[in-house]
Structure formats: structure tokens, C-alpha cells
Amino acid sequence: MSDGYPDHLDVEAIRKDFPILARTVRNDKPLVYLDSGATSQHPVAVLDAERDYYERHNAAAHRGTHLLGEEATEIYEGTRAKLASFLGAASPDEVVFTKSATEAINLVAFGLAWSLKPGDEILISELEHHANLVPWQQLALRTGATLKWFTERPDGRLDMDQALVTERTKIVAVTGQSNVTGVIPPLREIGELAHSVGALFLVDGAQLVPHHPVNVADLGADFLAFSGHKMLGPLGLGVLYGRYAALDALPPFLTGGSMIEVVRMEKTTFLPPPAKFEPGVPPVAQAAGLGAAVDYLTALGMENVAAHEEALTAHALDALRENPGVRILGPETTEDRGGTVAFEIDGVHPHDVGQVLDELGIAVRTGHHCAWPLHRTLGVQASTRASFYVYNTHDEVDALADGIRYAQRFFGQG
């Protein structure tokens, strides 16, 4: 037990796997990294997998008749298979590699531009990260379809107004977990609503997949987008899970080499998914790293990861509630919410809070976190956000609480 909060992971051992956590930052302070919601840190196993790929197997996958090319293909497809099993997908063919979660969502939005018409409806929510908001606004502009959204309640929860789902709804796209308040919407219920009118259901899983056990069949999602770098993997690799029939029905997004079947000057036919959506030489080094990240998380057990973060979140919520100058944005309990905690401090702007915390070695995110409408609805211009992952400790939560009090004193508010 740590401060009365249950232990689910051997965090001390985990921290030894992450070289960056041993460095010091400003004023020779040890690094307290509470910004994994933006990007996570990497264990040695992930760094080694990337290095090993470049040192021993580097080649263009899916091409060439040489051994290295075959090995690169095996690594790349091996990660696809690992991800399929990690997500409970029916087949590795349901896993498409993209540059990012953002690109994965755009892939679906651009694909639907071929079939949406004026009068059709796209349904999102006010909780969205801009990555699951702006592509749908653009799709509405491009097609004449109407963009509608579930509103956000004052407690940060999504207002389940079922009347928003109509016979005209073609796609419902919502976040799996808010990147600001940590709110997890009732995803299964939303998916069932979407399917009841024949609409597609997309989940922005950027903050969900790295932190919770996810099974796509249970979730009922036609599409699930997420990024590797928020789940211990390298930058530059995103994933789109798609139910095979849903992927097959989408036209290609980015086109070019390696996604084609036959090319003539007049016309091109395409490979089936996932190849249809993966033009160009594949990013195998990143896939090697992400494969190692999936192995690492699987060995920890996603239930344990979620439970560990829940304990840290409970601790953080308790500590922040004790401070009268702090207002937590969103739910103040851990029920249906993940390990990101956003807050505002009376009389101290988030940017200034972040600066003071940085002087103490504590890395947090400040601003609107690419979720401007969400902040507007909660009546704040910006916020400070702490987000937790497998390597964070209860001592670091205490350091955050102390740092906040220091910032309040510095700006004459405490």
C-alpha cells in the first residue's frame, strides 16, 4: 500500500526500465513526468526493438526478394497481429497503420466524403479533442452534411440526448476518454444507438487504449483510432482498427505505391484492407517499437495498468479537493473516468502554474489541450493537466499537490 492507496504494479521495478526517468531537469530536480496524456515515455525494450531493427533487419517491407525484406515484413506484420490480439480484433487485417490517431480519424472522414450527402448527419460531442472534431466539421463542409453534437454537462459528463441520433445519422464519433477531464462516455450505449439507425460508430481511443483493457467486440466500435506514442511506443505511428466490412466499404485515403492491385493509365484497382490504406514504404522501425510496447503492457496486464492509474487518480483527486483554491474540471470521483486530472487555480493562470511546476521538475500540460470547446463549456479559458501512467508514483502525486501550493504562495494566492 502507498499512502493507503492499493498497489497493482511494481512501480519501482518499472521505473528502472525507463532511462529518461533517471535524468534531472531544471535546478537539478528529478523529473516528475505527469504529461503522459500528451506523449508517454519509453522502456528500454521499445528502444532496443527499434535499434535492433535498424542494426539487423532494415529493409523495405513488402518488397524485394531478399532476406532482410522478408524479416522486415515479418516484424511489421508481427506487430499488426499483436495489436489485433491486444484489441480482440477478429483478424490482423482489421488493423491499419497510419501516421497518427489524427490521420486514422481523417482516413475515415475523407473516405465518407464520397458517400455523404446534404441532409445526412454526423454526430460528435463537445468533449472531443480537436482531432476528433475538426475532421468532422470539414467533412460536413465538404459534403453539405450536418454536424451535430452531444453537449457536455457542467460535471464534464456527456449529455446522452438520444434524440440526436436519427435516421439521417451516418456516423457517430466520440472520444473513448476525454484528454482533459478523463471522462469515459457510455461507449457501448452510444454504439448501440448508432447501430440502431444503421450509422457507423467511431471511437477516438487515443486516451483509452493506452490505459484500459479494450476489446473491440465488447465496445461495439466499427472504428477505433489511437496512437502508438501514448502507449510506450515510438512517435509517428498510429493505428486504425476497423471492422473488416467497414474498412472494405471505405475508399482509399492516401494513394500511391504498395496499396494497388493493378495500375493502368486510365484506372487503378486497390488491394483489400489493410494494404488499401497503407501506401509507401512501411514504418517498420516504429512498428518494431510498438510491438515491444504491446508486449510490455501485456506483461503488466492492462487490468493492473488501469487499476494503478485509478489509485493515482483517486489520490490526486483527494489531494486537490483538500486545496480550497483548486477547482477540478470534470468528475471528482474515479467512476467512469481515467487518469488525467485537469484543474484551475484561483488567481493563477495555468501557464504560470506550469512554469512554477517546471522549476520544481514537474512536467504537466497547460492550455486548452486541443479541446477548446470543452473548456468553453466548463467556463474556463485554459487549465493545467496532470496525466498518469504505469511509471508514476504516489510520491509524485504528493509532489504535484505541494507544487500547486508553492505556485499559489508565489503568486500571493495561498
Active site residues: 370
Closest CA to 30 of 45, 43, 20: 20
Choose between 16 and 130: whose C-beta lies nearer to other proteins: 130
Closest CA to 391 of 17, 115, 68: 17
Q: How far is the CB of 377 from other proteins (least distance, A)?
A: 14
Q: Answer for the pair 45, 35: CB distance below 8 angstroms, yes or no.
A: no
Q: How far apart are CA 240 and CA 226, in angstroms?
A: 7
Q: How far apart are CA 60 and CA 331, in angstroms?
A: 47
Q: How far apart are CA 12 and CA 26, in angstroms?
A: 23
Catalogue the E-assigned strands of 85-160.
95-98, 121-125, 146-150
Q: How far is the CB of 349 from other proteins (least distance, A)?
A: 4
Choose between 12 and 28: whose C-beta lies nearer to other proteins: 28
- Could you give the C-alpha distances from 2 to 44, 152, 311, 387, in angstroms and in order? 26, 34, 9, 18
Choose between 138 and 304: whose C-beta lies nearer to other proteins: 138
Q: Which spans of this chain sit near other proteins (rule: CB under 8 A)?
A: 26-27, 349-352, 355-356, 359, 366-368, 372, 375, 381-382, 410-411
Secondary structure of residue 25 in the 3-state scheme:
coil
Q: How far is the CB of 358 from other proteins (least distance, A)?
A: 9
Measured at the alpha carbon of residue 294, what is the angle toward residues 291 and 296, in degrees to the nearest 5? 110
How many C-beta atoms lie closer than 10 Å to residue 303's C-beta?
A: 11
Choose between 270 and 411: whose C-beta lies nearer to other proteins: 411
Choose between 182 and 373: whose C-beta lies nearer to other proteins: 373
Q: How far is the CB of 26 from other proteins (least distance, A)?
A: 7
- Could you give the C-alpha distances from 366 to 35, 79, 316, 352, 355, in angstroms and in order? 10, 34, 17, 9, 9
Q: How far is the CB of 383 from other proteins (least distance, A)?
A: 10
